[in-house]
Amino acid sequence: MKRRDFIALIAGAALAPSLWPRAARAQQTKLPRIGVLVPANPEPFWRLLREGLREHGYGEGQNIHFEFRSADGKSDLLPGLAAELVRLKVDIIVAWQTPAVTAAKQATTEIPTVMVAGDPVGTGLISSLARPGGNITGLSATTAELGAKTLELIRELLPSARRVAILANATDPFTKPFVGQIERGGRSLGIAIQTLQVRGTEEFAAAFTAMATERADAVIVQPSLPRKPALELALKHRLPPISPTPLFPAEGGLMSYSARQDDLYRRVAYYIDRILKGAKPADLPVEQPTKYELKINLKAAKALGVTVPSPILLRADEVIE
């Protein structure tokens, strides 16, 4: 090889990296992978989560990548889905609702996990709100604490109500504090509580038959249960259905009182951003919601023969007609 050819070859090799197309260099940069684990019914959580991330400067395929896993209402699938995310070595797991957070906690003690769950201290997910410890942080939806308030609204909506049924999720660790708060509220208001725990939709029909037999005046549906079959049976038995999740009235439920979902779900992005920038979950306090919303579905009320009092309508944040 001639001397001038050798010098040209060396010079070309030195300059090559600066001449590579941007796309080729981008392919060599690994995008952070976010595993999202949900029991079912991910909207609007999934939409609001992505909106929140865009507000923090993250776009899918640009500087972040998602691995989305849903159990489609079959909670027994969650442990396997969580283990799959661990095998994929995602950088962060986002878990929505207590069953998903529990599955993530059992699958890994190392991968940072951002949760949205009710009473995470009472269910043993974290040590405390101020100092969660371990690899889990995020937001507490305070759903259990709203049990007494939900009963107060039922009494205001249905003044003659004397018995309220709870359709509870037997596979959800959150069920104990959820039911406990409602039962305590029932004792203070003089309302009898009938709790029926189900393991899947195949047990819904028998549960609603038992409610009708005991002449329940309304039913509270636990948020981690599939809503559509519960609503269909509630309307069939003419049982006013209520749930502490804002998705409920839009899907045909009569009423919901819950934390404001827009603020809650977008806030998840804050935790993801902090962790991607080096923060440890154990050092990020778990936040609780500060804003709540009351929603009423007048179409459902008409179908059930319920007249919604004017004071509730005036206080409602959203009325569906």
| pLDDT tens readout for residues 273-308 | 999 999 999 999 999 998 999 999 999 999 999 999
- Reply yes or no on whether the pLDDT at 22 is more than 50: no
Residue 310 has what pLDDT? 95
Question: How far apart (Å, rounded) are the C-alpha atoms in residues 122 and 85?
Answer: 26
CATH 3.40.50.2300 fits 144-258+293-320, yes or no: yes
| H-state helical runs in the chain | 3-19, 22-28, 45-55, 78-87, 98-107, 147-157, 175-189, 204-213, 227-236, 261-276, 298-304, 310-315
Residue 29 has what pLDDT? 63
DSSP-based three-state secondary structure for 259: strand
Residue 4 has what pLDDT? 43
- Reply yes or no on whether the pLDDT at 13 is more than 80: no
More confident residue, 171 or 194: 194
Residue 253 has what pLDDT? 97
Question: How far apart (Å, rounded) are the C-alpha atoms in residues 267 and 92?
Answer: 15
Domain topology for 30-141+260-292: Rossmann fold (3.40.50)
Question: How far apart (Å, rounded) are the C-alpha atoms in residues 116 and 130?
Answer: 16
Residue 152 has what pLDDT? 92
Strands 113-117 and 65-70, bridge-based pairing: unpaired
Q: What are phi and psi of 300, to 5 degrees?
A: -65, -40
Predicted confidence (pLDDT) per residue in 50-102, tens digit: 999 999 999 999 999 999 999 988 889 999 999 999 999 999 999 999 999 99
Distances (CA, A) of 40 to 46, 212, 227: 11, 27, 10
Q: How many CB atoms lie within 10 A of CB 68?
A: 14
Average pLDDT (180-201) is 94
Average pLDDT (207-230) is 95
- Reply yes or no on whether the pLDDT at 1 is more than 70: no
Per mean pLDDT, which range of 8-17, 134-143, 158-167, 189-198 is the poorest? 8-17
Strands 163-169 and 136-140, bridge-based pairing: unpaired
Nearest to 186 by CA among 145, 148, 241: 148
Question: How far apart (Å, rounded) are the C-alpha atoms in residues 91 and 292?
Answer: 32
- Reply yes or no on whether the pLDDT at 26 is more than 50: no
Question: How far apart (Å, rounded) are the C-alpha atoms in residues 115 and 251?
Answer: 24
Predicted confidence (pLDDT) per residue in 224-279, tens digit: 899 999 999 999 999 999 999 888 999 999 999 998 988 889 999 999 999 999 99
Question: How far apart (Å, rounded) are the C-alpha atoms in residues 188 and 157?
Answer: 17
Q: What are phi and psi of 181, to 5 degrees?
A: -65, -40
Report the alpha-carbon angle 137-140-144, nearest 5. 145
Distances (CA, A) of 247 to 44, 150, 167, 292: 8, 15, 17, 13
Residue 24 has what pLDDT? 40
Mean of per-residue pLDDT scores for the chain: 89
Listed by start position, the domains of the chain span: 30-141+260-292, 144-258+293-320
Nearest to 202 by CA among 230, 239, 238: 230
Nearest to 46 by CA among 150, 109, 98, 116: 116
